Every structure is written in structure tokens, then in C-alpha cells.
Amino acid sequence: MSIKKFTTLSIIGAALLLTACDKSPTCSDEIVLNKVKNKFQQLLNLTDEQRNSLEITGARPIRYNKDINTYRCAAYMSGTLNGKTIPATEIQFSLYIADNGKDFILSYE
């Protein structure tokens, strides 16, 4: 997996868990949080050492569109992966939470 792809997915996963899920009335269920964590662990397929070498320096919701139940979020991250430095990075993404509160769609630039 490329560092760029890894960084992007890591930031999305971290920001999702740190911001959107605990702010949404439909995404506060422990089962949903576990589902999200499992999804990102599968996508990243990282060792504990790789996960521990990255630092999430911040994450925040930007805005919430209640009409379409979508969050716009940002996250910040830095660290190392396989001996290569990942500079401080910001990424913004959208999180849509389905009406059932259990399904979600992530999109990002």
C-alpha cells in the first residue's frame, strides 16, 4: 500500500472515530463504532508497530448538513511509516450516515 493511500485512509478513519460518530445521533451505537474500526483495520492491514508510529494531531467536524445527514470533516496527522516521514497533512472528507444509523459512505478528495 502506498504511503499516500495509507495516510488518506488513516486520517479518514481517525477523524471518523474522533468526530463524526460521537456527534451524530444516528451513529452513537457501540456496534456502529466497532463496524467502522473493523472496516479501516481491514483496509489498512497494518501491524501494531505501523499503527503506533502515526500520530493524529487533530480532527474536527466542519459542518453538518441535516437535510442529507452528511458531515464534512477534517483531520490532521503526521508520523512515520516504514522509516519514511509523513509530513503534517490535512484532509477533508464527507461522511454520510444512512437513516438506519448503521450504514455509512465515506468520500474524500
Output the pLDDT for position 63: 76
The grid coordinates of residue 103 equal 450504514
Output the pLDDT for position 65: 77
φ and ψ of 67, to 5 deg: -65, -35
Output the pLDDT for position 6: 46
User: What residues contact 46, with CB distance under 8 A and at least 6 apart?
Assistant: 6
The tens place of each residue's pLDDT in the chain, 109 residues long, gives 344 444 555 555 655 555 444 444 444 445 544 555 555 555 456 666 766 666 656 556 677 777 777 777 766 667 776 677 767 666 666 767 666 655 666 665 5
